[in-house]
Structure 1
Amino acid sequence: MAQAPAVDTPHSSHHGPQQGLAALTLGALGVVFGDIGTSPLYTMREVLNPANGVTLDPASIIGAVSAIFWALMVVVTLKYVVLILRADNRGEGGIMALTALAVRAAGDTAKRRRVLLLVGVCGAALFYGDSVITPAISVMGAVEGLELVTPAFKPFVLPISVAVLTGLFLIQRKGSAAVGVLFGPVMLLWFGVLGLIGVVQIAQSPEILRALDPRFAFAFLQARGPGLFLVVGALVLALTGAEALYADMGHFGRRPIRLAWSALVLPTLALNYAGQGALLLRDPTALDNPFFRLFPSAWLIPMVLLATLASVIASQAVISGAFSLTKEAIQLGLLPRMRVIYTSAQAMGQVYLPAINWTLLVAVLLAVLGFESSSALASAYGIAVTITMLITTALTFFVVRHAWRYPAPVAWAATALFLVVDAVLVISCSLKFLQGGWFPLALGLVLFAVMATWRRGKERLHAQVADEDLPLLPFLESLSQDIAGPRPERIAVYPVSNPDVVPPALLHNLKHYQSLHARNVIVTVRFDKVPFVPEDQQLSVEQLPSDFWRVVVRYGFKDEPNLPAALGRCARHDLQFDPFLASYFLSRQVVVPGAQKKKSGMARWRQQLFIAMARNSSSAADYFRLPDNGVIELGSRVQL
């Protein structure tokens, strides 16, 4: 029914937020900054880890704080907040929206479009690696604070982490709307505590404020020598979650995200990292857990509870992002249809995909049980994130150059520094490949293979079916002479991917029943490379001979497909559509492997993978919300 994304629309509605700036900023605080906001739980400990060749002296401590602060300034503030938030796709952000924007900007250069799409798919696949590591490291980093209350709690850290994560995934089916109102206030409290305790510690060792001088960062990094990349690989931990600023732009808007970052998140993070540095200047033994050592012993249990809640919120954001990314990938033709449950009647962006939820849960629990601590997970964290950041910067170059039409020198000037920084981050994290960095890369590789195989398989399948297609108009002109007798007073709807050919279900209907309905609608659903398509631009209706109509329904990749609702608006186009009189005839194709590899252009394992996905994909009836009692499926076998 649905085909590959069509051409861009001239205009697209922006389903942007309509709330006040304060409410949106508070919402952004709860959803967008959860991941980067929980980075102080483990970042300082890993940057100053003696295994990285760092000596715990005052120069190193001040230099480490300075390096973290200026990394936040360059990568998050300059790159994401100032530059990349401008690259919106009709108000939407994220790797898939940016890919669609870059592909459109590439113009008629087919090879460049394919390469950009391939790069974007790679970035999307790696996002799933982040979706696995973030919940694991965030929750474990918070629960490990119990060890400071009493060492007797150490054996319970792993079971508690598993229980918290399992509970988090179990409640996903209820949607985040019910608890979402708590996210903003909780994270407001979290960032307030981060800043307050930082100020308390800085007041006792104000010399840490010298870290604001970037020369200390350069001196610290330069002194690392061959160990530079090890330290930079740990610095990445302070930047994880930066992609969320861009990915969630469509939910809150550019201005609230910028305001929340500049007015609260960046200052409180800087104060907390400086506070940890001040503590370490006075007590280097606090390196075992410098975050929780900031607090008096009486505060430990409340802080562990608050940190756990903050880490759950951070995990919720990335899990919801995985759901949204999967839905977009399905509508862009990169993944098979899956069951999508809309958990909110008001916010279409709140979706739940059971298959993705349980797959993520299994992967997260494997990560927790396999790595056993947040320090071990830190080795796995970063490589997938930094490659995604590099891909985002590369795609942004094409947007600046071809969509915004800036001269090449300006485009290079805007992105070259960030490309270099991202490349250094990728190289640094790659050094930890054997210590766990392979894990998110393996996940990304599997997802990339799945997406590439599905897209290639669909192309081959459409090519196979197209060889047997009949042109629609000549066929309809001949019908009036071949079909006689009364017609049932119902509406027959024939979904088809190509509106110019005869639907296979129509041929089956004529062959077996030798009759036509009183009205027949041939409908095609197209997903454009824009987030939303306004309702007044979704429908194209054309009357054809022999009581046939041709309808094309267009959606954006963030729209909620509902075919009966769309057809119900055909009355504006002189087609009276009564949903109670409609029967939907679906052409279901059972895919079987081809006789030879040469025939499909796909390796045998990819053929089998595509066939398995095709057979287990959600039906078109469910995906497009067709009524259960009005669907008739007529199938055929197609060789891949």
Structure 2
Amino acid sequence: MSTITEHEESTIVSEEEKPQEQLNGEDLHSDNKLTRYDSMDIESGKLGRRYHHGGGATKSGEWAVVLQLAFQSLGVVYGDIGTSPLYVYASTFTDGIKDKDDILGVLSLIFYTITLIPLIKYVFIVLRANDHGDGGTFALYSLICRYAKVGLIPSQEIEDQNVSTFQLQLPNNRLRIASKLQTKLENSNFAKYFLLFATMLGTSMVIGDGVLTPCISVLSAVGGIKESASFMTEDMIVGASVAILIFLFMVQRFGTDKVGYSFAPIICVWFSFIAGIGIYNFFRYDPSVIKALNPMYIVYYFKRNKERAWISLGGVVLSITGTEALFADVGHFSVRSIQISMCTVTYPALILAYTGQASFLRKNNLFVADTFYKSIPGPLYWPMFVVAVLASIIASQAMISGTFSIIQQSLSLGCFPRVKIVHTSTKYQGQVYVPEINYLLMLACVCVTLGFRTTEKIGNAYGIAVVFVMTLTSAFLVLIMIMIWKTHILLIISYVLIIGTIEIVYLSSVLYKFDQGGYLPLAFAMILMSIMYVWNDVYRKKYYFELDHKISQEKVKEIVDHTNSQRLPGLAVFYSELVHGIPPIFKHYIANVPALHSVLIFVSFKSLPISKVPIEERFLFRRVQPKDLQVFRCVVRYGYKDVRNEQEPFERLLIEKLKEFITEDYHIGSEMICTNVDEVQNEGELVEDVVQCDNELVSVKREEAIERDVEYLDKAWQDGVVHLVGEHEVVAAKGANIGKRVLIDYAYNFLKKNLRQSNKVFDIPHKRMLKVGMTYEL
């Protein structure tokens, strides 16, 4: 491998793009003007106007579809929060119940926590912040990136704003505060890094949640067997839980479509059981717990218990575990369907379940450690045990599927090493499976279950992961309220004072148990964030290096013209992540292999801060002048939920879209010529016949040129396609400090060598792939 260094003499492209306002305002009917810019604004504007559509909101009249989606959402979204009654009271009263009125205080806390956080905050506020139907931390980050230029890679182009799913619908009032905040974010490198850091932290915590949810749910459900099978020891319960967890992860390869969507009836039975048992216990034991609707019982609870009451909040917060799934999984369904299922099924069932358990504990406070199973009427015990185990598996499935989606989103933004993404469903686009991550999650779950053994310690860890993500979501939401929604300042202050204060109090409580297992999600997050930081930092350095050493179109023409040997029959596709210009790998390839194929296509993969890019708007082309070179640039744009080259004929699609571009390119050129002739026509009537003759001549010449170029492309495709992939070796530059050398030479290269290469990720055929080795000194 030869080396390109930053000190090497190389051609730097001076293709500076003009500001958006200036470009939009220019007369673009000039071929000379068009070739001055390294931009694809003309074609993208045409696509944006042709394929524009709305944000994908559910039609109000399709109630049958909405209700069907609401039913299906029960099996995917609510497994985690729905199984919380298994362990909430046990985790709250870890030292037993000292005063019966404490039960009323805790029930009041649970009631208002579920009402304010999952119901009001998520169902009625956060779900509005979806990104064309998709939710999660990356959806919030993508909205902010689209409104303010806070991305750390300089790949935001004017033409990307023409993608139909890119556009934001913005109100026009209260612009002053929004404009100030936008300017501060765009001008502050600290703010850009902090937003990316917060996004990484939030996603890392959700992945940690994906580890802890299976552990605590399965262990809680299986632990109930000791009520009727006294011979079961703790070791046997832990062993059975581990076996279920291993089985759960082994079936992930079949996909969420097969594993998850059939679970809705089971969750419906689960909610019916816990609601019915709640009503039974409420009337049988102590209907007076209805007094807990008075929030003063919370005040009395804190007066009596002081610090112990504050510590117990770490158990109460477990009643809202899995709430983030309401937002993260909205892309599988719709906002309206989630709202219906939460308000009509999940919320009432949970309130009835916790109320019934509180009534039972008022008369049987010694059974607080096994509240759930002790409160079940005898004849229903075994049916409830079976449903509880099944529901806990479903709860695990929701977070595991969410983890796969998060990894896919992180990968698209250059924040995670390349791993294999398997699209498991042709019907549901967002359902993916990541083999490496699946087995790492399984190993982590088994280790946590064997190491902690009880739900109490796992619950301490679980609470931190849950509250951290909620707090970060609120922080992002406040930015969106100010900049995008232009919400009234008094409403924003009210949100921060009410919701923000509650979450901060809960966060302080769960952090108190840091040394009792609470360190686990933070340890997971630190490991994941270290991986994300190393990969993203070197990813950005590589991008800037290629940007500084890109090749101008004039240099490409010179290279092609001076290639010693003739053009080879066939088509060559050069892959690169560089969006601006042609990557330096081309010059390196020619220096070592002085031969070129008859058609060259430089393909750049670009991730946009949107969830999905419609297939009609995915490919943007630009021809390297002059036309007889048969050299093209192509930017392939993906959203963070799009699947790259998985179950789609990428090569065929690329050729078809290139043919469409060639046709449109000639049409645009002829329109410009005709426009200039029409200007001559206006000067007098004497040239009218000549104009008509010229127009006909232009049309004939255009069709001949289109047919010739399309046939030339077809022949090159039939002669064979070679895929050229850069095999970049990245090393720290001479004189780099020790931190940079450790980061690049050891940490990054370790990750790169132990994970999949780009050809495996993009499914490039091995028989037609050629790797071009280069060394980048960063």
1:517 pairs, out of 597, 617, 630, with 597
Question: In 2, distance between residues paired with 1:231 and 1:143?
Answer: 24
Q: Is 1:551 aligned to residue 551 of structure 2?
A: no
Code of the residue aligned with 1:37 in structure 2: it is G
1:574 pairs, out of 651, 662, 666, with 662
Q: Which residue of 2 aligns with 1:24?
A: 69
Q: Which residue of 2 aligns with 1:446?
A: 527
The 1:125–1:13 alpha-carbon spacing in structure 2 relative to 1, beyond 3 Å, is farther
8 A Cα contact 2:546 2:578, kept in partner: no
* 1:486 to partner: Cα distance: 3.7
Q: Which residue of 2 aligns with 1:97?
A: 139
Code of the residue aligned with 1:574 in structure 2: it is I
1:197 pairs, out of 257, 277, 297, with 277
Code of the residue aligned with 1:137 in structure 2: it is I
The 1:22–1:328 alpha-carbon spacing in structure 2 relative to 1, beyond 3 Å, is same
Question: In 1, distance between residues paired with 2:436 and 2:386?
Answer: 30
* 1:407 to partner: Cα distance: 4.2
Q: Which residue of 1 aligns with 2:465?
A: 384
The 1:276–1:496 alpha-carbon spacing in structure 2 relative to 1, beyond 3 Å, is same
Q: Which residue of 1 aligns with 2:24?
A: none
Code of the residue aligned with 1:557 in structure 2: it is Y
The 1:448–1:189 alpha-carbon spacing in structure 2 relative to 1, beyond 3 Å, is same
Q: 1:212-223 alignment to 2 at 5 Å?
A: 212-223=293-304
Question: In 2, distance between residues paired with 1:626 and 1:566?
Answer: 14
* 1:460 to partner: Cα distance: 2.1
The 1:500–1:426 alpha-carbon spacing in structure 2 relative to 1, beyond 3 Å, is closer
Q: Which residue of 2 aligns with 1:136?
A: 215
Question: In 2, distance between residues paired with 1:221 and 1:23?
Answer: 44
Question: In 2, distance between residues paired with 1:71 and 1:481?
Answer: 71
CA deviation string 1:73-102 (max 9, x = no partner): 111111111111111112211011112222
* 1:212 to partner: Cα distance: 2.2
8 A Cα contact 1:13 1:534, kept in partner: no
Q: Which residue of 1 aligns with 2:258?
A: 178
- Structure 2: stretches of 5+ with no match in the other structure: 1-39, 149-181, 664-709
Question: In 2, distance between residues paired with 1:15 and 1:384?
Answer: 31
Look up the SS of the partner of 2:371 in the other structure.
coil
Q: Is 1:37 aligned to residue 82 of structure 2?
A: yes
* 1:503 to partner: Cα distance: 3.4
8 A Cα contact 2:332 2:428, kept in partner: no
* 1:275 to partner: Cα distance: 0.7
The 1:519–1:603 alpha-carbon spacing in structure 2 relative to 1, beyond 3 Å, is closer
Look up the SS of the partner of 2:573 in the other structure.
strand
Q: 1:447-526 alignment to 2 at 5 Å?
A: 447-467=528-548, 469-483=549-563, 485-526=565-606
Question: In 2, distance between residues paired with 1:335 and 1:177?
Answer: 25
8 A Cα contact 2:572 2:722, kept in partner: yes
1:404 pairs, out of 471, 481, 485, with 485
1:353 pairs, out of 406, 424, 434, with 434
Q: Is 1:250 aligned to residue 293 of structure 2?
A: no
The 1:509–1:158 alpha-carbon spacing in structure 2 relative to 1, beyond 3 Å, is same
Identity %: 29
Code of the residue aligned with 1:488 in structure 2: it is L
CA deviation string 1:229-256 (max 9, x = no partner): 2111111110111111111111111111
Q: Is 1:127 aligned to residue 206 of structure 2?
A: yes
Question: In 1, distance between residues paired with 2:91 and 2:283?
Answer: 24
* 1:32 to partner: Cα distance: 0.6
* 1:615 to partner: Cα distance: 2.4
Question: In 2, distance between residues paired with 1:13 and 1:627?
Answer: 37
Count, aligned residues = 630
Q: Which residue of 1 aligns with 2:129?
A: 87
Query: Which TM-score applies when normalising by structure 2?
Result: 0.77
Question: In 2, distance between residues paired with 1:356 and 1:47?
Answer: 33
8 A Cα contact 2:460 2:513, kept in partner: yes
Q: Is 1:426 aligned to residue 507 of structure 2?
A: yes
Code of the residue aligned with 2:537 in structure 1: it is R
The 1:509–1:117 alpha-carbon spacing in structure 2 relative to 1, beyond 3 Å, is closer
* 1:596 to partner: Cα distance: 4.2
Question: In 1, distance between residues paired with 2:612 and 2:433?
Answer: 19
Question: In 1, distance between residues paired with 2:660 and 2:752?
Answer: 36
Look up the SS of the partner of 1:590 in the other structure.
strand
8 A Cα contact 2:85 2:353, kept in partner: yes
The 1:608–1:177 alpha-carbon spacing in structure 2 relative to 1, beyond 3 Å, is same
The 1:339–1:480 alpha-carbon spacing in structure 2 relative to 1, beyond 3 Å, is closer
Q: Is 1:263 aligned to residue 344 of structure 2?
A: yes
Q: Which residue of 2 aligns with 1:618?
A: 756
The 1:80–1:607 alpha-carbon spacing in structure 2 relative to 1, beyond 3 Å, is farther
Code of the residue aligned with 1:25 in structure 2: it is A
Q: Which residue of 2 aligns with 1:634?
A: 772
8 A Cα contact 2:550 2:584, kept in partner: no
After superposing the two structures, state which structure 1 stretch, 355-364 or 203-212, moved more: 203-212
* 1:213 to partner: Cα distance: 2.4
* 1:543 to partner: Cα distance: 1.3
Question: In 2, distance between residues paired with 1:282 and 1:392?
Answer: 40
Q: Which residue of 2 aligns with 1:109?
A: 187
2:644 pairs, out of 530, 543, 561, with 561
Q: Is 1:324 aligned to residue 369 of structure 2?
A: no
Code of the residue aligned with 1:277 in structure 2: it is A
After superposing the two structures, state which structure 1 stretch, 425-434 or 446-455, moved more: 446-455
After superposing the two structures, state which structure 1 stretch, 559-568 or 322-331, moved more: 559-568
Question: In 1, distance between residues paired with 2:582 and 2:145?
Answer: 31
Question: In 1, distance between residues paired with 2:639 and 2:603?
Answer: 17
The 1:12–1:355 alpha-carbon spacing in structure 2 relative to 1, beyond 3 Å, is farther
The 1:250–1:473 alpha-carbon spacing in structure 2 relative to 1, beyond 3 Å, is same
8 A Cα contact 1:593 1:611, kept in partner: no
After superposing the two structures, state which structure 1 stretch, 586-595 or 310-319, moved more: 586-595
Question: In 1, distance between residues paired with 2:94 and 2:351?
Answer: 20
Question: In 2, distance between residues paired with 1:561 and 1:278?
Answer: 54
Question: In 2, distance between residues paired with 1:219 and 1:603?
Answer: 58
Look up the SS of the partner of 2:725 in the other structure.
strand
Code of the residue aligned with 1:633 in structure 2: it is K
Across the aligned residues of Structure 1 and Structure 2, the Cα RMSD in angstroms comes to 2.4
Query: Which TM-score applies when normalising by structure 1?
Result: 0.93
The 1:522–1:110 alpha-carbon spacing in structure 2 relative to 1, beyond 3 Å, is farther
8 A Cα contact 2:732 2:740, kept in partner: no
8 A Cα contact 2:569 2:597, kept in partner: yes
Q: Which residue of 1 aligns with 2:365?
A: 284
Look up the SS of the partner of 2:622 in the other structure.
strand
Question: In 2, distance between residues paired with 1:37 and 1:237?
Answer: 11
Q: Which residue of 1 aligns with 2:726?
A: 587
CA deviation string 1:178-206 (max 9, x = no partner): 23332111100100101011111111121
Q: Which residue of 2 aligns with 1:55?
A: 98
CA deviation string 1:273-331 (max 9, x = no partner): 11111111222222121111122334322222211110100001100100000000000
CA deviation string 1:352-391 (max 9, x = no partner): 1111111111111111011111122112221121111111
The 1:606–1:207 alpha-carbon spacing in structure 2 relative to 1, beyond 3 Å, is farther
After superposing the two structures, state which structure 1 stretch, 457-466 or 280-289, moved more: 457-466
Question: In 2, distance between residues paired with 1:620 and 1:147?
Answer: 50
2:392 pairs, out of 311, 333, 347, with 311
The 1:636–1:248 alpha-carbon spacing in structure 2 relative to 1, beyond 3 Å, is same
Q: Which residue of 2 aligns with 1:3?
A: none
Q: Is 1:68 aligned to residue 128 of structure 2?
A: no
The 1:485–1:377 alpha-carbon spacing in structure 2 relative to 1, beyond 3 Å, is closer
